Amino acid sequence: MYSSPVGINKVKITDEFWAERVDTVREKVIPYQWEILNDRVADAEPSYCMHNFIAAGDLNQKKQREGDGFAEPVYTFRGFQALPDDPDAPEPDRFYGFVFQDSDFSKWIEAVGYSLMVHPDEELERIADGAIDIVCRAQAENGYLDTYYILNGMDKIFTNLRDHHELYCLGHLIEGAAAYYEGTGKDRLLKAACRFADFVCEKFGPGDRLHGYPGHEIAEMALFKLYEITGEEKYKALASYFIDERGAEPSYFNIEHKDDPGGDTTNLYYHQAHLPVRKQTEATGHAVRAVYLYSGMADMARLTGDEELKNACERLWDSIVDEKLYITGGIGGTHLGEAFSFPYDLPNDTAYSETCAAIGLVFFAHRMLRMEPDRKYSDIMELSLYNTVMAGMAIDGQSFFYVNPLEVDPTACKRDERKLHVKPVRQKWFGCACCPPNIARTTMSIARYAYTISDNETSDAMRNIAQKSCADRAAGNLLATDKTLFVHLYMSSEITLDDGAAHDPENKIFININSDIIRTSEVTVSITKPEKSSFVMAFRIPGWCRDHFSVNGTDGEEYSDSIRSGYLYIPITKSEETLRLKFEIEPVFMESADEVSENAGRVTLMRGPFVYCVEECDNGKALHELAVDTAGGIRIYNEDLSEKDDHDTSSDKADDVRIKRVFERSIRLVTGGRRVTARGEKMPGSKLYHIYEKPEETKTDIIWIPYYLWANRGEGEMRVYLANHSAL
């Protein structure tokens, strides 16, 4: 059963956990990011993003003024990241930053669009409109819009699809423009994105057009979205062309680079271009690119009903989830190529597990879910969101993880070059700033992932809905009779939907969800609707409750006939209805498959969707000396933090209070365990190695915190996995 996301503007998030995150993004990240885009943050690397748009706009104006007399810039490569000779006075008419720097704006405007949708803010909208003016002014007459080539010379556009990011910038521009259009109804940026997309449609495709495809995928899913918003078939055709052409022989990337020193040296696995996508069975290469591609493939499968492609998506999904996923929902086992490693190679301390890759996995999960409501997708979507994605941003909203290790020793991060990619504390900002704005846009659109409404089931009807949703500015606002509202994630929210059958503004359906899934795992759903409306609600039964749940006090077993693929389908008929769901959320020790050699003999803790970890500030140094007694119990940790930290003298009191509040709210766990200290006779001449003797053991409480909260209380060791001392 296909479904579409509920419009963000139809959902008010009131959830303690998510509202805090959404507020942090709105209050902290979006304004901070705007300063970054304009190079106004003293201790962060300059972005040059708005600088480039302004410079490109100036160049366009000059061209118009000078007409035929205008001397077009002739392209010269100035590096993947072009930096000014004098950082204090960059030349005003040159491009600076990474080749994909334009996308920083697009990610920002996307978060702004979502924010305005639920939280109108005149000042922010004024700033955003101004930024859009600057961006639109940079667009070339033919619709092309990538300041890297506009400033460096358009004679070479689309000549390095492998390494340069024109189509990536197009993709992000579409995503940003769509969100701003949905959030404000203003279509200036959307039209600019369409013009750029139109230009790309002219240039790419079968016949005598270019047969290439994006080096860094995202245009695929963005173009499908643009098709769903505008109903323009050519965008769907272009996205489909990109997907079908990828991996065709001879390799476009190799042809493109045949004159490079070294010739055909493209790592086609890195680009997921080693095989036609329908033949791919193993998730490979750059993890973000991979899941962005797979998301586009899933969109295409849904929009075209292509079963072969859907099967390929399912195989790639399984490859990730069965063999290449961290327990935290992160992906990318190796920093070399920021990539998937081989099956079951999931090192904890050198993990890449990029925040953006986890976000991409959420995108992929969400798209699979839209084709087929199955908790195998939503369980992972939740896992990634609550652990890796949320770990990517500090409680203060001003520092970020790009890499999300499962084991950290700050000394190693500083002294071991192989771990220089692993940071023991979150960083202010990155020159390659993909993760922070990606967290922002995902957080601000969380409602999309939580709720979807079923489409009609034929693809004609689906297209009609897509086209209608354009007029409505967002898909999935109508909860017509015979439709199903899916609840994929549990968060307190107020949902207001139109009864599609009637289209009477008075005929509203109100759904109030009160969820305390973090603490008690109780969810109360109150529905108020017109008498004649009738629909179905489908509630995900989270995999972590192992089907131990109740509905209005009745044991879940009684509902077994109403469950399909982990979703409980309940018809809503009365005009006032209340459902009380309760899922078992006992903390459990988790182990990895035998094949994961890294975790042999080790366990971690989960409670509901949250993976736990241990930190030095709770458990002292040398976390590798801790071993858990899995036969013992797990307690909730009740200590009040507020007093403990009172003697701290920090400069930023507000952030201190925020951190304390979040920690007080979080469930911390305690397990019994031992600190094992080796003793034994030292081998003469070598204290490093000595004859084994049964070690001294000190019984100790081990304090576990949710993984997403780690590194909010200073620098220190962290581990997700500990040895299991009752294992053997």
Nearer to its own copies, 70 or 692 (CB): 692
Q: Find the shortest distance in angstroms from Cβ 691 to its own copies.
A: 5
CB 546 to its own copies: min, Å: 7
| Smaller CB separation from its own copies, 240 or 671 | 671
Contact 5, 449 (CB under 8 A): yes
Q: Does 74 bind its own copies (CB under 8 A)?
A: no
Q: Does 685 bind its own copies (CB under 8 A)?
A: yes
CB of 5 to its own copies, least distance (A): 21
Convert residues 303-322 into a mask of x (bound to its own copies by CB under 8 A) and - (unbound): ------------------xx
Task: Report whether 136 contacts 105 (CB < 8 A).
Answer: no
Q: According to CB under 8 A, which residues from 499 to 558 bind its own copies?
A: 543-544, 546
Q: How far is the CB of 680 from its own copies (least distance, A)?
A: 7
Q: How far is CA 86 from CA 82, 164, 354, in A?
A: 12, 24, 32
Residues 6+ away with beta carbon under 8 Å from 195: 139, 143, 145
Nearer to its own copies, 265 or 411 (CB): 411
Question: What CA–CA distance (Å, rounded) separates 390 from 76?
Answer: 41
CB 82, min distance to its own copies, A: 16
| Least distance in angstroms from the C-beta of 260 to its own copies | 18
Q: Mark residues 405-444: x for contact with its own copies by CB under 8 A, - for none.
A: ----x-xx--xxxx--------------------------
Q: Which stretch binds its own copies (CB under 8 A): 1-9, 158-166, 617-625, 701-709?
A: 617-625
Element (H, E) at 610: strand 610-615
Which residue in 601, 639, 648, 701 binds its own copies (CB under 8 A)? 601
Interaction of residue 688 with its own copies, rule CB under 8 A:
yes
Using the rule CB under 8 A, which residue among 630, 666, 671, 712 binds its own copies?
A: 630
Work out how close the CB of 43 gets to its own copies at its nearest, in angstroms, rounded to a whole number: 24
Could you say whether residue 376 binds its own copies (CB under 8 A)?
Answer: yes
Instruction: Please tell me the distance from the alpha carbon of residue 458 to that of residue 5, in angstroms, as a whole number.
Output: 18
Q: Give the amino acid at 319.
A: S
> How many residues line the site for its own copies (CB under 8 A)?
71
Residue among 189 and 325 whose Cβ is closer to its own copies: 325
Based on the shown chain and the rule CB under 8 A, indicate whether residue 678 belongs to the binding site for its own copies. yes
Q: Least separation, in Å, of the C-beta of 323 and its own copies?
A: 7
Which one of the spans 289-297, 323-331, 493-501, 567-575 is the region binding its own copies (CB under 8 A)?
323-331
Q: Give the contact letters, 378-397, x = binds to its own copies (CB under 8 A), - = no.
A: -xx-----------------
How far apart (Å, rounded) are the C-alpha atoms in residues 429 and 107? Answer: 15
Total residues found in the chain within this entry: 728
When binding is defined by CB under 8 A, the residue of 130, 206, 680, 714 that contacts its own copies is 680
Sequential DSSP letters for 314-347: HHHHHHHHHHSB-TTS-B-SBTTTTB--STT---
CB 678 to its own copies: min, Å: 5
Q: From 8-16, 79-87, 338-346, 698-706, give the range in contact with its own copies by CB under 8 A.
A: 338-346
* Residue number with CB closer to its own copies (71 or 728): 728
Query: What phi and psi values does residue 653 have, to the nearest 5 degrees?
Result: -60, -40
Which residue is listed with tokens 């000549």? 159
Residues 579-598 that bind its own copies (CB under 8 A): 588-597
Short-list 436, 437, 340, 320, CA closest to 380: 320
Q: How far is the CB of 462 from its own copies (least distance, A)?
A: 26
Which phi and psi (to 5°) does residue 456 adopt? -65, 165
| Residue recorded with tokens 């998506």 | 313
Phi, psi of 436 (to 5 degrees): -55, -50
DSSP state string for 52-109: HHHHHHHHHHHHHHHGGG----------SEE--SSTTS--TTS--EETTTHHHHHHHH
Phi and psi at residue 215, to the nearest 5°: -70, -45
* Residue 684 in the binding site for its own copies (CB under 8 A): yes
Residue of 690, 700, 703, 715 interacting with its own copies (CB under 8 A)? 690
Q: Give every CB contact of residue 259 below 8 A, 6+ residues apart in sequence.
A: none
* Whole-angstrom distance, CA of residue 305 vs CA of residue 292: 19
Asked if residues 280 and 243 have their Cβ atoms less than 8 Å apart, the reply is: no
CB of 264 to its own copies, least distance (A): 19
Cis peptide before 530 (omega within 30 of 0): no
Contact of 4 with 465, CB cutoff 8 Å: yes
Query: Can residue 702 be called a binding residue for its own copies (CB under 8 A)?
Result: no
Binding test (CB under 8 A) with its own copies, winner from 132, 627, 659, 670: 627
- From the list 326, 384, 383, the residue with the least C-alpha distance to 355 is 384
Q: Shortest CA distance to 709 belongs to which of 387, 356, 422, 430?
A: 387
Q: Which is nearer to its own copies, 308 or 586 (CB)?
A: 586
Helical H runs in 231-349? 233-245, 252-256, 287-304, 307-323
CB of 721 to its own copies, least distance (A): 11
